[in-house]
Structure 1
């Protein structure tokens, strides 16, 4: 279960390597596709959406950490972050905004991984404590 966070982080790094402007891995969008889809949203609105999303995601992760909830939500974050790469790419502004998405995504997914890792570590600690109690009871009753 604790490896989910690492897998999510690894997939995000792979997506980021493809989206890296210097890599040149993304094709140009054909003119007829641009005409069909229409104009791209303004980059300042995409940036506002990225800031709001990042803040909301961090608050939700921190609340799950505080509540002891062990659910992993990294897969949906991967979808949202990939969509931000796509929006900036379509708006022809990925070059200047790549690092903002990368920093937000790495922070969100790292915190998500820490959350799952800490949850698993705590459950393992509780299980070991429970096993020690059972061993003490077994030793006590076997002496009689």
Structure 2
């Protein structure tokens, strides 16, 4: 059954599950801290509401490390001449974008007489191919 809302025991579990390597705890230990079984934790992880909140908590936990990650990417791009890291750094700074140009033909550009002429040419080629057989 899907969770409708998160309660205190869910939030306790979320705090631990969002830590790197679960804060050094096993699933059973986290379950004990939250007052639930290990199996309940595994069931919650599959729940859309719990999963969404877990991702949010992980994001909140890692926001302060983003400058370090960016710094490491810049070092990799410059020192190691890593093109993938350079692309990521440029993309993060809005200096590189994926751009696709789509050109569509205007179907109304051909007039009826032109279409009839092309159709007649096609039929003539088709008829000529049949007589050669």
Category of TM-score, reference length = shorter chain: under 0.3
The normalised TM-score by structure 1 is 0.23
* TM score, norm. by length of structure 2: 0.24
Structure number with greater Rg is 2
